[in-house]
Chains A and B, each alone.
Chain A
Amino acid sequence: MNHLPQAWGRPRDDIYGAYDHSYLQSSGPITHTQKPVVTGTSVLAVKFKDGVVIAADNLGGLRKSCTDLLLVNADIWVEASYGSLARFTDVKRLRSFNSTSVIGIGGDVSDMQYIDRLLNSLSITESHSSDGHILSAANLHTYLSKVMYKRRTDINPLWNQILVAGLDGDEKPFLASVDLLGTTFSSPTLATGFGAHLAQPLLRQVVGSEEDVPSITREKAVEAIKECMKVLFYRDARSIDRYSIAVVTKAGGVELKEDEQLEGQSWAFAETIRGYGTQVA
């Protein structure tokens, strides 16, 4: 405490250094999100004959995932303070909608929470006019892609990549993606973040093309996804072993489990890795 009331409650320069005004941007053009702050990483999904399986781990790190950054721009790497802190270990990144769809969101967690609120309000307006019309996963994906594209066009992006999994208007399996640029695509297997590099090839070995989908059972699809989650935990430093997984089918609706533990891990391979730590090669 000192005799200068203006200083009370403010950080002192002699302790904290001068305040960095560049964070405040009191002048200059309006700018929006330039980089994600708290991020989630991979979301994986695969179609099977009766529906779709989708999974994501429960980690929200402080600007954590290297792969999410790959999506964006190399500039972001420069400011790496708190770079890979596993800050939030209980972030649920799958969300159901309408009992016909589940969305999995990678990227900025605050933007994810905004999307969540957006979908809550959409869900309320939709069920308010209860006339038997239900937005399918395909409809939801179209809607989200318009939201994402609008925001990128305003140069105010929602820093996410979203997978929409569920059933389309004909109650056939549906799986598609939309990212912060509004780019959309659909495929029998999809993965975001690090998973696009690590898991996608493994998933494509199981379901190579759309024609393969009718021959894939639910068990096979779930097993493939779990195996990929395990590989991601082994190989992606920014992942944890707790994850959410959901299965969407016509018969069972949305079956979402949000606190699963990776099973059957084997770290035996780690013994054989040389060149790290204290061992001599």
Chain B
Amino acid sequence: MAASIFSSNPTLASGPNYSFSQAANNAAAGVKEHSFYPYTDNGGSTLGISGSDFAILAGDTRSTSGYNINSRYAPKVFKIGGDDETGEGAHIVLSVVGFAADGQALKERLDTIVKMYKYQHGKNMSVKACAQRLSTILYQKRFFPYYVHAILGGIDDEGKGSLYSYDPVGSYERESCRAGGAAASLIMPFLDNQVKNNNQYIPGSGEGHELVARKAEPLPKEEVVKIVRDAFTSATERHIEVGDGLQMLVATKDGIEEVYFPLKRD
């Protein structure tokens, strides 16, 4: 009578029992494996370039899950701190790519903070302050991060275009250009070459080490728009998660202008 009839009830196990025995599946201590994974990748790509008196943030408008296209128009670039309906009065732009739900939540949180700042201080938050604040928002969720690559842009206190890029847990840096998302590895080297003039030399300036590298100079806005369009048409060709539409937000001292170009929908 040693075996337990009530293998399910350890306190009874020492008492009288059935003769039939079966190894108790007493796995209570073991943890059932979680099969819910709270993240997904919604694809797409973003890119930002700053100039002498402007900053451009761009993103494609495709939203994917796996091989499916969720939507052909799901913006990744947002105006921050403006009127809800029209975005009027905004002076900061944000792009988020990665897990779209986190991106949306992050954008709404930053937007609320920038609005609260204006309400409490009676003036707009500077891009520098906003950039720092975004970093702390991301870092506060260090152990359950917003799974996004964020880029923030605007005009700094000196009237120059400024651009900040972030990793998902809040490390950030001011840069002249940055690509994010699915096609970042395709676009970034192109930007290094075309915006920072990496690996460009002045023809005929010498042989071997004598060759003079071409210095990077702030590009005019029209030139930057061309570079952005080229970057995205090329990324659309080579990356399946990029396409459908290209949305650009151009921040200048006069406000934020929105531009849209169609991309291939295949």
Q: Which residues of A contact B (CB under 8 A)?
A: 4, 6-7, 10, 12-14, 17-22, 24-29, 31-35, 70-73, 75-76, 145, 149, 152-153, 155, 157, 177, 181-187, 196-197, 200, 209-210
Given contacts A18-B8, A18-B22, 7 further A-B contacts (CB under 8 A): A6-B9, A13-B5, A22-B25, A27-B29, A28-B30, A182-B104, A187-B72
Question: Which of B21, B35, B66, B144 makes the CB contact (< 8 A) with A73?
Answer: B35
A-B contact pairs, 14 of them (CB 8 A): A10-B6, A14-B20, A18-B25, A18-B26, A21-B27, A22-B30, A33-B36, A34-B36, A157-B38, A183-B42, A183-B70, A183-B100, A184-B101, A187-B70
CB neighbours (8 Å) of A155 from chain B are 34, 36, 38
CB pair A13–B28 under 8 Å, yes or no, is no
**CB-based contact B8/A19 at 8 Å:** yes
Q: Considering the chains assembled together, what is the distance between the CA atoms of A182 and B105 in angstroms? A: 10
Given the complex, which residues of A lie within 8 Å of B34, measured CB to CB? 31, 34, 155
Tell me the bound Cα distance from A13 to B24 in angstroms.
9
Asked if residues A183 and B68 are in contact (CB atoms below 8 Å), the reply is no
What's the Cα separation between A181 and B18 when bound, in Å?
Answer: 48
B36 touches A209 (CB 8 A): no
B68 and A197: CB pair below 8 A?
yes
What is the CB-to-nearest-CB distance from A156 to chain B, in angstroms, rounded to a whole number?
9
One digit per residue, 1 when the CB lies within 8 angstroms of any chain A CB and 0 when it does not, for chain B 1-39 equals 000111111001001101011111111111111111111
Which has the most chain B C-beta neighbours within 10 Å: A17, A70, A76, A157? Answer: A17
> Which of A19, A25, A75, A186 is in CB contact (< 8 Å) with B35?
A75
Give A182 to B70 CA distance when docked, in angstroms: 14
Interface residues of B (CB under 8 A from A): 4-9, 12, 15-16, 18, 20-40, 42, 63, 65-66, 68, 70-74, 99-101, 104-105, 144
Residue numbers in B under 8 Å from A76 (CB-CB): 35
Q: How far is the CA of A181 from the CA of B146 in the complex (A)?
A: 13
Per the bound structure, the CA–CA distance linking A145 and B103 in Å amounts to: 13
The residues of B that contact A27 with a CB separation of less than 8 Å are 28-29
Alpha-carbon separation in the docked complex, A246 to B34 (Å): 37
Beyond A7-B5, A73-B37, A210-B73, whether A14 also contacts B100 by CB under 8 A is no
Residues of B within 8 A of A4 (CB): 5, 15-16
Main secondary structure of the interface of B (DSSP, over half): loop
Q: Once the chains bind, are B68 and A13 in contact (CB under 8 Å)?
A: no
Contacts of B30 in A (CB 8 A): 22, 28
B6, A22: Cβ atoms closer than 8 Å: no
Supposing A10-B6, A75-B33, A185-B100 touch, asked if A18 and B42 sit within 8 A by C-beta, the answer is no
A103 to B68, CA, bound (A): 22
- A153-B32 in contact (CB<8A): no
Contacting residue for A149 out of B9, B42, B101, CB 8 A = B101
Give the CA-CA distance A13 to B3 in the complex, in Å.
10
Closest residue of chain B to A156 (Cβ to Cβ) is B36
How far does the Cβ of A36 sit from chain B's closest Cβ, in whole Å?
10
A185 and B32 form a contact (CB under 8 A): no
Are B101 and A181 in touch, CB under 8 angstroms? yes
CB distance from B203 to the nearest CB of A (A): 46
On chain A, the residues within 8 Å of B101 by CB distance are 145, 149, 152, 181-184
Task: Give the distance in Å from the alpha carbon of A75 to the alpha carbon of B35 in the complex.
Answer: 6
CB-CB under 8 A from B5, the residues of chain A are 4, 7, 12-14
Contacts of A6 in B (CB 8 A): 6, 9, 12, 15
Given contacts A6-B12, A22-B27, contact A185 B71 (CB under 8 A): yes
Give the Cβ gap from B239 to chain A, nearest Cβ, in Å: 19
- Choice from A20, A22, A183 contacting B65 with Cβ under 8 Å: A183
Residue of B nearest to A34 (CB): B35
Q: Which of A12, A26, A152 contacts B18 (CB 8 A)?
A: A12
- Check A18–B38 contact: CB distance below 8 A: no
Write the chain A residue with the least CB distance to B141: A153
Q: With the chains together, A70 CA to B68 CA distance in Å? A: 11
Output the least CB separation between A238 and chain B (Å): 18
Residues of B within 8 A of A20 (CB): 25, 27
Known: A184-B104, A185-B70. A21 touches B25 (CB 8 A): yes
Q: State A18–B17 Cα separation when bound (angstroms).
A: 13
Which of A10, A73, A186 touches B74 (beta carbons < 8 Å)?
Answer: A186
In the complex the two chains form, what is the Cα distance from A14 to B25 in whole Å?
Answer: 14
Point out the residues of chain A lying under 8 angstroms from B63, CB to CB. Answer: 185
Q: Looking at the complex, which one of B28, B33, B37, B105 makes contact with A24 (CB distance below 8 Å)? A: B28
